[in-house]
A and B are shown apart, each in its own frame.
Chain A
Amino acid sequence: MEVNNHNSSKGKVIASGIIPFAFVILMMVYIFGPGADLLDFGTPLPEVTIEKVDFIGSEIHATVRNTGPIPVEVVMADINDRIQPAAVEPDRFLERFETTLVRIPFEWNEAEPYIIGITIEDGTRFEKEVESAAPALEPSLDLAIFFAIIGTYVGIIPVMIGLLWLPFIKKISKQKFHFFLALTAGLLLFLAIDSIEEAIEVSDESLAGSFNGSLLVATVTILSFLGLYYSGNKLVERASSSKLAKPVAIALMISIGIGLHNFGEGLAIGAAVGLGSVAFSTFLIVGFALHNTTEGIAIAAPMSRGKLMIGKLAAMGMIAGAPAIFGAWIGGFSYSPFTSVIFLSIGAGAIFQVIVVIMKWIRDEGDHNLSSASVASGFAVGMLVMYLTSILV
């Protein structure tokens, strides 16, 4: 009897879990089947988004995605609102979310603005403005080296310079050390906000409304935060039971977080060069470099509590800085606004996780006090320094 009872209650649990699902399925079957007429009011509006525009030879290439609720047909292309004959590859019929390439032969002029228009079968026209036409980047060794150099200047060198603060931070008192840790958190918070702002900007400019840009950024940021927070804790736990010291583990997490951020930054730089919207002046590089030097401090601060390990420190500098190079390559050679948004958001989540870890560390070390003068002022100075150096960019 008892066994039977147990079984039936288990069955009830399963059933009660399944019943709501069954109703959801039933409802969907009804809506798509016999009930379709009930909901057949209103007119779904078609929408396409021009995600990408490339200037290649004597042609302008537009990557068009169907971002509306119904299939569409691409029937006409124009440049600056003047109708042009064009080719659509592979074809003009676009299912939901499908993309096609529209090749518009046009003798374009470098550095001039263009508006690319796509008309669909009901006559609705969608357009995308390009501020300054620039020839699409052909992947070449020279260009790869060029991006590597930019990435090195923007990512690796400044981080390495920042690491040189280590001996200084090592010699200071606990209060001052807390100031520097808080400064790091402030720097990082600024970077995280910067990443999110950038991600939302890209999604507003180039992603269709159907991607829910801001929510995509929020979702990926939080997923990234949760994932890294969970695995980061595991790393620190394991660190305490092995040779790897806790400061090293934290510094490693910081460099991974900054690395993800710099990857996003590299994407943005590469894409900007590729899209021709940025004239890469030496001034801009100097700005980025100054800005990123502060990232080195963020890694140096926790490392100052352990033994001086130059090899590990250099490795972390590379982890934090080198992704800028990869980012520039990807951004420059095969830019996609979607990947850009995703990586910027992952970077933001990673940085939030690092901030939490640092704040926890200060709290554990500093007599469970986060409101000391050194912490508050450090945080504030961190934000300020970042803001002031960001003006240079």
Chain B
Amino acid sequence: MKSNRSSVMILLLSLFIGFSVIALFPTFSNAQSESKTFVTHSGSVIKTSGEIIDPVYTTTVPEYTESTIEFDPMEYLREFNYGNVSTLPDGSALREFTIIADDDQIMEVSPGIFFNVWTFNGTVPGPTIRATEGDTVRIKFINNGSKEHTMHFHGIHPAEMDGVFEIVGSGGGQFIYEFEAGPVGVHPYHCHVMPLEEHIVRGLYGVFIVDPKEERPPADEMVMVLNGLDMDFDGENNFYAANTIPFYYQHHPIQINTNELIRVYVVNMVEFDPINNLHLHGNLYNYYPTGTDIVPSAYTDMITLSQTERGIMEFEYDYPGKYLFHAHKVEFSEKGWVGVFLVNDNQDENIQDSDYGS
């Protein structure tokens, strides 16, 4: 009887230990028979029986189920909003815009990664607002968010239009921002409610372009907001990008033509890191800091930008092909701030019409 009991106890003990080892030893369920391949950064092809997680080369994002935002960086790149234009009694133009702030949107910022972004008109960055110097800009601002928000424009305007002390309440608060567009150049706008860093890095920013009265030469124009995303709220960016989506323009190259003037409005909105930069491959660009002057300050392939520092870059490609552009702070480019210009051979010497200044 006693020895029976002891053997039962030993049996139980060994069973317990055996089961826990089996249950917790790393186990892998049967691999799927179907095998997939992907290409690494160094070019080798890898086969797997499982799934591929690859924010660099994935071109289609499978399910948008959780995402409440559809954002197409390619569309944003060349989308300029001129507002509803009417003429004021004095003959000058009035441009009216409606901007709605929100802070409950979920965006798929990289394949499979979802983030609560705060938005102007439902996207990060917000819409690019464009006017000509001297126009009256009138923005009807509606705050549909659950927090207080404002719009603060860089530029010249009266103090009460600065969007700092005139806090707009949550749940439908409204404010009309009205000022004369100026000075000429490229400027950011962003929410200026405290804690400011949070309101900016969550996505409440956009680009404000003021064109000179005498139009710039026609060009293929685009906007690049250099931004970062701090997914885990540790005060460090996990992703960097031109126009929010990491690696987007790397696997969706921006198509341009040889011998055509390219004009890029670049605004650095990266927080946490003191600098950002832009390096162009196979070419150099004329750089106009803040876009306020018509004479370029530099002919270079590399400029460094601090917070909200911005400018205009102009260049033309002589040779067709694929050219990289990226942060030469390569940590940023390895975290998404990298893209490709696909330069097509421009058979037609006539420069295509751009929708500039409509």
Q: Using a CB–CB distance below 8 Å, which chain A residues touch chain B?
A: 51-52, 58-59, 63, 65, 73-77, 81-92, 97, 99-103, 105-107, 119, 121-125, 220, 223-224, 227, 230-231, 234, 336, 338-339, 342, 346
Please list 16 pairs of residues, one from A and one from B, whose beta carbons are closer than 8 Å in the complex, sorted by A's number.
A83-B246, A83-B334, A85-B52, A87-B50, A88-B50, A89-B28, A91-B51, A92-B50, A92-B53, A103-B50, A230-B9, A231-B9, A234-B2, A234-B3, A336-B26, A338-B21
Contact A99 B115 (CB under 8 A): no
> Looking across the interface, which residue of chain A has its beta carbon closest to that of B50?
A89
Which residues of B are found within 8 Å of A338, using beta-carbon distances? 21, 24-25
Q: Does B315 contact A (CB under 8 A)?
A: no
Which residues of B are found within 8 Å of A223, using beta-carbon distances? 13, 16
CB distance from B49 to the nearest CB of A (A): 6
- One of A90, A220, A227, A342 near B49 (C-beta < 8 A): A90
- One of A81, A105, A123, A220 near B46 (C-beta < 8 A): A105
Chain B, 229-275, CB within 8 A of any chain A CB: 229, 231-232, 238, 246-247
With A90-B49, A101-B28, A342-B20 as known contacts, state yes or no: A124 contacts B232, CB within 8 Å: yes
Q: Does B76 contact A (CB under 8 A)?
A: no
Which residues of A are found within 8 Å of B48, using beta-carbon distances? 87-89, 103
With A119-B238, A339-B21 as known contacts, state yes or no: A86 contacts B26, CB within 8 Å: no
Q: Does B60 contact A (CB under 8 A)?
A: no
Which residues of A are found within 8 Å of B112, using beta-carbon distances? 73, 75-76, 92, 121
Q: Does B56 contact A (CB under 8 A)?
A: yes
Contact A84 B41 (CB under 8 A): yes
Contact A90 B28 (CB under 8 A): yes
Which residues of B are found within 8 Å of A63, using beta-carbon distances? 26
CB distance from A164 to the nearest CB of B (A): 33
- One of A74, A75, A87, A107 near B38 (C-beta < 8 A): A87
With A84-B41, A87-B53 as known contacts, state yes or no: A99 contacts B21, CB within 8 Å: no
CB distance from B234 to the nearest CB of A (A): 9
Q: Does B336 contact A (CB under 8 A)?
A: yes
Which residues of A are found within 8 Å of B50, using beta-carbon distances? 87-92, 100-101, 103
Which residues of B are found within 8 Å of A81, using beta-carbon distances? 331, 335
With A89-B50, A234-B2 as known contacts, state yes or no: A121 contacts B13, CB within 8 Å: no
With A76-B112, A87-B51, A123-B232 as known contacts, state yes or no: A99 contacts B27, CB within 8 Å: yes
- One of B57, B232, B247 near A125 (C-beta < 8 A): B232
Which residues of B are found within 8 Å of A89, using beta-carbon distances? 28, 31, 48-51
Interface string of B104-128 (1 = CB under 8 A from A): 0000011111110000000000000
Cα–Cα, bound, A81→B331 (Å): 9
CB distance from B53 to the nearest CB of A (A): 5
Cα–Cα, bound, A52→B51 (Å): 20
Q: Does B354 contact A (CB under 8 A)?
A: no
- One of B13, B44, B113 near A119 (C-beta < 8 A): B113
> Looking across the interface, which residue of chain A has its beta carbon closest to that of B27?
A99
CB distance from A334 to the nearest CB of B (A): 8
Greatest chain B CB density within 10 A among A83, A86, A92 is at A83
Cα–Cα, bound, A75→B109 (Å): 12
Cα–Cα, bound, A102→B25 (Å): 17
* With A83-B56, A86-B52, A86-B53 already in contact, 7 other A-B pairs whose C-beta atoms are closer than 8 Å: A75-B112, A90-B50, A91-B32, A119-B238, A123-B114, A230-B9, A342-B21
Which residues of A are found within 8 Å of B21, using beta-carbon distances? 338-339, 342
> Looking across the interface, which residue of chain B has its beta carbon closest to that of A238?
B3
> Looking across the interface, which residue of chain A has its beta carbon closest to that of B48?
A87
Cα–Cα, bound, A224→B16 (Å): 11
Cα–Cα, bound, A103→B42 (Å): 15
Contact A231 B56 (CB under 8 A): no
Greatest chain A CB density within 10 A among B46, B57, B115 is at B46
